[in-house]
């Protein structure tokens, strides 16, 4: 799976693409897509980006409808930041293992217990969480601004970092700051195998390993560069190297190959041979057909209680303010 530029679309897909573009114009909709979406969806989108960039775009758009080709927490974030817009998600079941690892009741209970021991502690929560958990957090962060967000909290104030323990451990090493870490993981980034990546590096001695900070410590320690999806893409564009082993969801290879067609991008291998576990099963629920149906029917739509929107907006806006 090294060549990721889309194959010629079938006549049916071409017809669907034309219908999507027509409906998008009729509904005054904007299509936002994450890098882990299928290539054909990325090609159709008005904007493709990482979680932080997509949040900003969702907040700033003046379109009437935001079609979010990503996962549920991303569409919820768009609704929270721009509540007067209709926000559609092509497949409402597009969840996230990290968001699932932090149910709101459990998060609330842990915060209450912690307040007894550390009354002044701060809850920094990765954007990969539900609207309820955002509302219970003090500041949200993404993988591209987390260091800055942590740096904004005074040294003597304890931090609970949720829900990604790998990103949290990486940030502890980067900032030298000890935090209380929630025990969640991304099933996709957890699937990579250092043993198999070592074999890939031996096979391609000129290659650099680049990794998303949701990967385990052992892989991050071996990586030549670590960053958010946008940072990984920028790195491959700017680096003089010509071969990269990419330890993140392989949807990003589409933009990497598009930006640097002369370079070679090799998806890092997961533990199980032959398994497609490095592909996000949630992101990949969105298809061209579901995107078409969602624009046609105007659903699935994200509905959130206005009071929840108000509470979840504050920690998100704190993040946007701190990452200007």
User: In the complex, which residues of this chain contact ligand SF4 (CB under 6 A)?
Assistant: 36, 71, 96-98, 128, 186-188, 249, 280, 282-283
142 binds, among ligand SF4, ligand 13P, none (CB under 5 to 8 A by kind): ligand 13P
169 binds, among ligand 13P, ligand SF4, none (CB under 5 to 8 A by kind): none
Q: Specify the pairing of strand 225-226 against strand 180-181.
A: unpaired
Tell me the sheet residues that pair with 180. 160
Cβ-contact 220, 136 below 8 angstroms: no
Q: How far is the CB of 22 from ligand SF4 (least distance, A)?
A: 30
97 binds, among ligand SF4, ligand 13P, none (CB under 5 to 8 A by kind): ligand SF4
The correct pick among 143, 185, 191, 236 for binding ligand 13P (CB under 6 A) is: 143
145 binds, among ligand 13P, ligand SF4, none (CB under 5 to 8 A by kind): none
Is the CB of 123 or the CB of 184 nearer to ligand SF4? 184
50 binds, among ligand 13P, ligand SF4, none (CB under 5 to 8 A by kind): ligand 13P
HSE-CB at 69 with a 13 A cutoff on CA atoms is: 33
What's the first-to-final CA gap in the chain, in angstroms?
A: 37
Count of residues interacting with ligand 13P (CB under 6 A): 10
According to the binding rule CB under 6 A, does residue 137 interact with ligand 13P? no
The correct pick among 166, 190, 193, 228 for binding ligand 13P (CB under 6 A) is: 228
Q: How far is the CB of 71 from ligand SF4 (least distance, A)?
A: 5
Residues 6 or more apart in contact with residue 20 via CB below 8 angstroms: 31, 44, 288, 291, 292, 295
Phi and psi, residue 171, nearest 5° = -70, -30
Cβ-contact 158, 194 below 8 angstroms: no
Is the CB of 71 or the CB of 295 nearer to ligand SF4? 71
| Tokens describing residue 263 | 């370079």
Q: 4, exposed or middle or buried, with CB in 10 Å at 0-12, 13-18, 19+?
A: middle
According to the binding rule CB under 6 A, does residue 229 interact with ligand 13P? yes
- Edge to edge, the sheet with strand 225-226 lists 225-226, 208-211, 243-247, 264-267
The contact set with ligand 13P (CB under 6 A) reads 50-51, 128, 142-143, 186, 212, 214, 228-229
């Amino acid at each position: 799976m090294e060549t990721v530029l889309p194959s010629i679309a079938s006549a049916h897909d071409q017809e669907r693409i034309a219908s999507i573009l027509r409906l998008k114009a009729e509904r005054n909709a904007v299509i936002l897509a994450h890098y882990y979406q299928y290539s054909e969806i990325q090609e159709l989108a008005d904007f493709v980006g990482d979680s932080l960039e997509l949040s900003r775009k969702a907040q700033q758009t003046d379109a009437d409808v935001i079609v979010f080709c990503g996962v549920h927490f991303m569409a919820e974030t768009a609704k929270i930041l721009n509540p007067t817009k209709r926000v559609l998600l092509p497949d409402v079941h597009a969840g996230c293992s990290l968001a699932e690892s932090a149910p709101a009741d459990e998060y609330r209970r842990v915060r209450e217990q912690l307040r007894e021991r550390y009354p002044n502690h701060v809850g920094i929560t990765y954007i990969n969480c539900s609207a309820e958990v955002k509302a219970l957090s003090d500041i949200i962060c993404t993988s591209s601004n987390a260091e800055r967000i942590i740096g904004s909290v005074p040294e003597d104030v304890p931090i609970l970092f949720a829900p990604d323990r790998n990103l949290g451990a990486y940030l502890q090493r980067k900032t030298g700051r000890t935090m209380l870490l929630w025990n969640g993981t991304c099933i996709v980034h957890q699937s990579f195998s250092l043993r198999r990546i070592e074999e890939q590096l031996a096979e391609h001695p000129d290659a650099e390993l680049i990794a998303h900070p949701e990967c385990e410590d052992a892989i991050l320690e071996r990586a030549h560069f670590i960053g958010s999806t946008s940072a990984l893409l920028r790195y491959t564009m700017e680096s003089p190297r010509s071969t990269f082993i990419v330890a993140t969801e392989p949807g990003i290879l589409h933009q990497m190959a598009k930006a640097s067609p002369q370079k070679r991008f090799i998806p890092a291998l997961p533990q199980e041979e032959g398994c497609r576990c490095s592909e996000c099963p949630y992101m990949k629920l969105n298809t061209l057909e579901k995107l078409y149906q969602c624009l046609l029917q105007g659903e699935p739509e994200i509905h959130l209680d206005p009071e929840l929107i108000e509470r979840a907006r504050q920690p998100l806006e704190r993040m946007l303010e701190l990452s200007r």
